[in-house]
Amino acid sequence: MVQKTVMIIDDSAMMRLIVSNMLRNDTNFRVIGHAENGKQALEKLDNVDSQHPDLILLDLEMPEMDGIEFLSHARRKTKAKIVVLTSVAPAGSLQAARATALGADAIVSKPSGAVSYDLEKVRGGELFSVMYRLLGMNMAKTA
């Protein structure tokens, strides 16, 4: 199977590391980029020399350009599937509805706040299930 490429957009360096480490454990995914905010991510997507991701994992609360504003521009820049990974927009919330209306393909809640050290343990299965489904892959996680 061809590896699917992922960009992680989160202002927390620790969350970017946590998510990168989770993805490293599945050979079907390869992280090709990180961004600290939506503005930086859009600049990376504009760069013709950079690889474009199959999937974007997006936080909502970030300085300079938050995830909602990023979403308002993203569909003109990328065809990547976008999963909002957030502590502030649980399913059914106004922010979740707004993110979905702007093009988010799915929303997964961070289990214990903006920096969720327990992400893999508490929501890892849900996150991988969503990623596999959105990318049309069979859920056969490999180590």
- Residue whose pair of structure tokens reads 């993110």 in the numeric block: 99
As averages over each run of 10 residues, the pLDDT of the chain (143 residues) reads 92 96 95 96 85 94 95 94 88 87 94 85 94 90 48
Query: What SS3 string covers 69-108?
Result: HHHHHHCCCCCCEEEEEECCCCCCCHHHHHHHHCCCCEEE
Domains of the chain: 4-134 (3.40.50.2300)
- Tell me the three state secondary structure of residue 98: helix
Question: Which pLDDT belongs to residue 89?
Answer: 73
Task: State both tokens at 12.
Answer: 């927390």
Closest CA to 57 of 121, 116, 2: 116
Q: Alpha-carbon Rg of the chain, whole angstroms?
A: 14
Question: Which pLDDT belongs to residue 87?
Answer: 83
Q: Is 30 exposed, middle or buried (0-12, 13-18, 19+ CB in 10 A)?
A: middle
Three-point CA angle 60, 65, 68, nearest 5°: 40
Q: Model-level pTM?
A: 0.91
Question: Which pLDDT belongs to residue 49?
Answer: 66
